[in-house]
Structure 1
């Protein structure tokens, strides 16, 4: 029995998820390969926050972006394994951003605006998980 056809809005959302997660992988790569010159050019507070991150936080970042990319690709291929990968990614993002914002006290150092982009990332991670679960529920994925 074949799966029902995915609606256009779902295909567009999956395409956007792939692009977003590719951007996340690029951001991760840029983060872990940052040059000494770029690091030196950062404002002192930002550089200090960057340098004091524990390795496990960077590891959570890697899990978040690579699990999300794999989930987005699998979602495009209509595979139900996308859902647990998005859930893993979201959990890793929450761990990573939670520690950066609260464990490292970045909000006090850089201001409340430092929480905006992490909040957007968490919301989009939840949206990708919702998208995958919706695809499964409606029979488009699985």
Structure 2
């Protein structure tokens, strides 16, 4: 939902945001949006693949992690996101990274143990 909300945010919606947040949304690079989409949709497909016990779930989680790392690079290093959001801006990105790593490791263990076809 976060990706879709961001991707389809109208100018009217952006106008309701605080100035610092609006500036961030208006200046997002295209590669960031692509990394966000890659992380979200590869993670979604990886989760579905895990549910139906497919080995390629692990590959999809690797792709999702690469997208997450791209996002984190931008969020923590290349932008002023943390200035706009403060300490609370660290919580969700770190949780996303932890969940992404867990899903990858879980799918890898499931693959190793033969739980996936």
The TM-score normalised by the length of structure 1 is 0.78
Q: Which runs of 5+ in 1 are unaligned?
A: 1-25
User: Are positions 1:32 and 2:32 aligned together?
Assistant: no
The TM-score normalised by the length of structure 2 is 0.93
Q: Per-residue CA shift, 1:1-23, capped at 9, x if unaligned?
A: xxxxxxxxxxxxxxxxxxxxxxx
Pick closer, same or farther for the CA change 1:92–1:77 going to 2, 3 Å: same
Other-structure match for 1:117: 92
Structure 1 stretches of 4+ with a deviation exceeding 6 A read none
Distance 2:76 2:12 in 1: 25
User: Are positions 1:63 and 2:5 aligned together?
Assistant: no
1:7-86 matches, within 5 Å, as 26-86=1-61
Q: Which has the larger radius of gyration?
A: 1
Say if 1:61 and 1:93, in contact at 8 Å, map to a contact too: yes
Q: Which runs of 5+ in 2 are unaligned?
A: none
Pick closer, same or farther for the CA change 1:51–1:63 going to 2, 3 Å: same
Question: Cα RMSD (Å) of the superposition?
Answer: 1.2
Structure 2 counterpart SS, 1:29: helix
Other-structure match for 2:109: 134
In the alignment of these two chains, the number of paired residues is 117
Say if 1:57 and 1:96, in contact at 8 Å, map to a contact too: yes
1:72-111 matches, within 5 Å, as 72-111=47-86
